[in-house]
Structure 1
Amino acid sequence: MTNNDFYRDLFIQHIPIQEVLLEPSLFEDVPDDWNIIVTDVQNSTAAVSAGNHQLVNLAATGSIVACLNIARDNDVMIPFFFGGDGATIIVPDIILKECLHALILHQENCQSNFDFFLRVDSCKVGDMYKKGATLKITKVKLNDLHIIPVVLGDALQMAEDEVKSKSRKIGLTNIPYNLNLKGMECKWDKIAPPVDSNEILTLIIKAQTTALQSTVYSEVLTKMEFIYGDVKKRHPITIEKLIMINSLGQLKNEVLMKFSELKWVEVFTSAIRSFIARWYLKTNEKGRNYLRELPELTESLMVDGTINTVISGTAKQRELLLFELQAMQDKNLLRYGYYVSNTSVLSCYVTAIDDYHVHFLDGDQGGYTQASKLLKL
């Protein structure tokens, strides 16, 4: 296989993640000439505190969508991780410059239209290896529809730390305007948990050392499944709780993020699409299929060297899980941060109603940002 096809050609694991994690032979080193792109909203805690958590989520979603559109145009498959206030995308050299250029344009949009700064930078995987980092990856079939990347190692975290610690000006020339956020949508209102009395728990769990990741994360996911049930049972999204937004302000923000200026034609078109979609998703077979697929194609669990997850359950289940996590933290096995909210928020990448779609999940009020703040204490 060529390096450009590295991720596409990875073997897909069909066993539970907690079992995959304990089998190092199922992981492969990411090639030296691939790159780690990191985007991160600077001072995201302040932005979330000011009530701009949906804009922060949109900026992170846009980072992934911009790179996915470029990858699709070049017939390249890439892994990505949504972090609420930023994203991590692993790309081969063939699309690196295009992706960075698009992300710099996205950065400018965020700055001019929403007054927050989106850090953008990249690190060569080979350079991270020279610094002693590790980056091993596999693909796991999470359910009938969704295959996710699973990463072990500290390279992604080291790359994120480097990007946050410096402010490098990326100079790219002779590349035409290429910010394409087509397919990015935020059409869903805040989503209540499947059971009205339940809550949404956003969790970030980090093993104390890289060597402990496999066993610690396997144990955590096993405990989580014992307390909450499997991924499907603890999933925060059900079709019955999905409600489309009718907020002009949110539609305007989506247009501003995608087109850098307020195009009322696009706002009007987006509003019409939302209105029609209410009928289409209920009465058309393709629409109903899309809705059925949406929960399974939602990123509710990510393993990128840490565990990042959004789950739904009772307060009692949360107390039991946090008790177990605290016991493991007391043994110096891991650190964790969490945030509890009443609803979750969803942003989406939809190429077509009957084609590829993936959905990015966060706890309301900036769940991942809030959990990360607690993790750092």
Structure 2
Amino acid sequence: MTNNDFYRNLFIQHMPIQEVLLDPSLFENVPDNWNIIVTDVQNSTAAVGAGNHQLVNLAATGSIVACLNIARDHQVMIPFFFGGDGATIIVPDLILKECLHALILHQENCQSNFDFFLRVDSCKVGDMYKNGATLKITKVKLNDLHIIPVVLGDALQMAEDEVKSRSRKMTLFDIPYNLNLKGMECKWDKIAPPVDDNEILTLIIKAETTNLQSSIYSEVLSKMETIYGDVKKRHPITSEKLIMINSLDQLKSEVLMKFSELKWKEVLTSALRSIMARWYLKNNKKGRDYLRELPELTESLMVDGTINTVISGTKKQRELLLFELQSMQDKGLLRYGFYVSKTSILSCYVTAIDDYHVHFLDGDQGGYTQASKLLKV
């Protein structure tokens, strides 16, 4: 019997994440014959430092979109995690080869058009278990519209470390060209926080001990809620602050990432879509619904064995939270990295404006990349 529907069939938890984390019975082991795909922009710190953080985000977003399009073709549901300068996607054997083939094409495109190397590789979950790793997953209803995967264990981090240590360039499989980034849209300009004087805080938090992840992360999320409010209150995106880009360079970059070459017809089409969208989002009910739903369908909080989150609040709130995190770090419970910016960056996967859409969030100037630098210190 195949288990291609393992993730689809997981029970959806309707409790706050901090409560879900404390009940191990709500999590299931990912099957042995599923796979952890890791993509990662090599030397992303240098790329971000050179001002290419939006291209780095595009490469990471493209990794997820390529795999989601393949999964949709096979009617398979898969969990994924956006990391700013890369992505982690968990897939069954059924689509592994197709996903890797698409990602190698994506890798070649990033190298030839943008001059950076996107690591692409995978690890078999069963092999990770043999090496002592753990990987437990559940699904949590974050709000009325959005269900997210929540992972406990060290397998995803171990897979990322292994892929980075290999630094090998994989070869294409003997299957037809299949890089399909349809639906990848990056039409939004830098987004100011909901309250004008607030700031954007990008955080990565890693428990020092795998078997204490659940209690540590539950405590952290409870402290975050006490200081900042719930996920909705601390969310960095509101529809009122969304402004569409009118930068030709950004439109060209999106077309290059999607089509491997600069197709001026696609640049023009993308520009016209942006112009039409301004009217549509304001004057059409489906457009207004899309805008209303966008914040709720934005990945502002991920738990993948670490906590990765982008939040909005005041400087005082940040100082209070960092004081709490530092106290926990001093006790040897966790490590953390953070980055503060004035705006956030959004990239999107939109199959249709009235159908499925999900949005990937990072702090401006490569928030996750910058936060991970502090985490490693």
Do the two structures share a fold, i.e. TM-score over 0.5? yes
1:293 alignment partner in structure 2: 293
Find the counterpart in structure 1 of residue 363 from structure 2: 363
Cα separation, 1, equivalents of 2:37 and 2:67:
10
Match in the other structure for 1:341:
341
**Aligned 1:317-336 pairs, distance under 5 A:** 317-336=317-336
For 2:333 and 2:376, locate their aligned partners in 1 and report how far apart those are by CA, in whole Å.
16
Task: Indicate conservation of the 8 Å contact 1:97/1:172, yes or no.
Answer: no
Letter paired with 1:239: S
Q: Give the match for residue 98 of structure 1.
A: 98
Instruction: Return the offset for 1:102.
Output: 0.2
**1:162-207 C-alpha deviation (Å, 9 max, x unpaired):** 0111123323432100000000010000000000000000000000
Once the two structures are superposed, what CA deviation does each residue of 1:324-362 show, in whole Å capped at 9, x if it has no partner?
000000000000000000000000000000000000000
- Gapped runs of 5+ residues in structure 1? none
- Counterpart AA for 1:121: D
Tell me what 1:214 maps to: 214
Match of 1:277 in 2: 277
Counterpart CA distance in 1 for 2:336 and 2:50 is: 25
For 2:146 and 2:21, the matched residues in 1 are separated by 18
What's the CA shift for 1:220? 0.1
- Say which SS state the counterpart of residue 262 (structure 1) adopts: coil
> Counterpart of 1:289 in 2: which secondary structure?
helix
Contact preservation (8 Å) 2:190, 2:344: yes
Q: Please state if 1:166 is matched with 2:171.
A: no
Q: Give the aligned partner of residue 12 of structure 1.
A: 12
Contact 2:109 2:257 in 1 (8 A): yes
The aligned residue for residue 77 of structure 2 is 77
| Aligned residue type for 2:248 | L
Instruction: Work out whether residues 188 and 242 of structure 2, in 8 Å CA contact, stay in contact via their aligned partners in 1.
Output: yes
State the TM-score, normalizing by the size of structure 2: 0.99
Matched residue, 2:178: 178
Residue 116 of structure 2: aligned partner: 116
Q: What's the CA shift string for 1:64-106, capped at 9, x where partnerless?
A: 0000000000000000000000000000000000000000000
Offset from partner CA, 1:242-285 (integer Å, 9 cap, x none): 00000000000000000000000000000000000000000000
2:97–2:173 contact (8 Å) kept in structure 1: no
Cα distance, 1:212 vs. partner? 1.1
Amino acid of the structure 2 residue aligned with 1:264: W
SS class of match (2:40): strand
AA at the equivalent of 2:180: N
CA distance in 1, matches of 2:173, 2:326: 50
Q: Distance in 1 between matches of 2:109 and 2:209?
A: 38
| 1:30-67 per-position Cα deviation (integer Å, ceiling 9, x unaligned) | 00000000000000000000000000000000000000
* Counterpart position of 2:29: 29
C-alpha separation in 2, matches of 1:94 and 1:114: 31
* Partner Cα separation in structure 2 for residue 192 and residue 172 of structure 1: 41
Contact 1:238–1:295 under 8 Å retained in 2: yes
| Aligned-pair CA distance for 1:2 | 3.8
**Are the aligned partners of 2:104 and 2:171 in contact in 1 as well (CA < 8 Å)?**
no
Question: Aligned equivalents of 1:197 and 1:126: distance in 2?
Answer: 49
**What is the alpha-carbon distance in structure 1 between the residues aligned to residue 292 and residue 239 of structure 2?**
7
Paired residue for 1:351?
Answer: 351
CA RMSD of aligned residues (A): 0.6
CA distance in 1, matches of 2:63, 2:139: 22
1:196 aligns with 2:201: no
Task: State the AA in 2 paired with 1:237.
Answer: I
- Amino acid paired to 2:265: V
Aligned length: 377
The residue number in structure 1 matching 2:141 is 141
Equivalent-residue separation in structure 2 for 1:231 and 1:171 (angstroms): 42
Separation of aligned partners in 1, 2:99 and 2:226: 41
CA–CA separation in structure 1 for the residues paired with 2:229 and 2:169: 46
CA distance in structure 2 between the partners assigned to 1:173 and 1:332 by the alignment: 45
Residues 105-145 of structure 1: CA deviation (Å, up to 9, x unaligned): 00000000000000000000000000000000000000000
CA contact (8 A) 1:187 1:347 kept: yes
**2:253 counterpart residue number:** 253
2 CA distance for matches of 1:58 and 1:336? 25
The code of the aligned residue for 2:52 comes to N
Measure, in 2, the Cα distance between the counterparts of 1:223 and 1:374: 21
- Give per-residue Cα distances to partners, 1:196-245, cap 9 Å, x unaligned: 00000000000001011000000000000000000000000001100000
